[in-house]
Amino acid sequence: MTPLITILLVHIGSNVYSVEYPSQMACGEALVAIAEATPPLGGRKAYAQCVRTYAPSQSIRPRARGETE
């Protein structure tokens, strides 16, 4: 099974920032930190969400072809 990534999207005003996390649990921990830091953002509307992707977190390595005779 190919490991998946979770992306944390942070929306501050009209700007969107993203960070990749290896698991949903790690992303959830980051949400807690953002919730605690939200008041000092200068009154701008901000929210964050974790989005699980179906993209592989690492590239699939090509396999060598078998030798033909």
What average pLDDT does range 33-57 have in this prediction?
73
CA dihedral 42, 40, 11, 58 (to 10 degrees): 140
**Strands 46-56 and 15-21, how do they pair?**
unpaired
**Residues 26, 32, 38, 39, Cα dihedral to 10°:** -160
The per-residue pLDDT for range 4-40, each reduced to its tens digit, is: 788 888 888 788 889 888 888 888 898 888 877 766 5
4 exposure class (CB count in 10 Å sphere: 0-12, 13-18, 19+): middle
In angstroms, the CA 6 to CA 53 distance is 6
Quick check: pTM over 0.85?
Answer: no
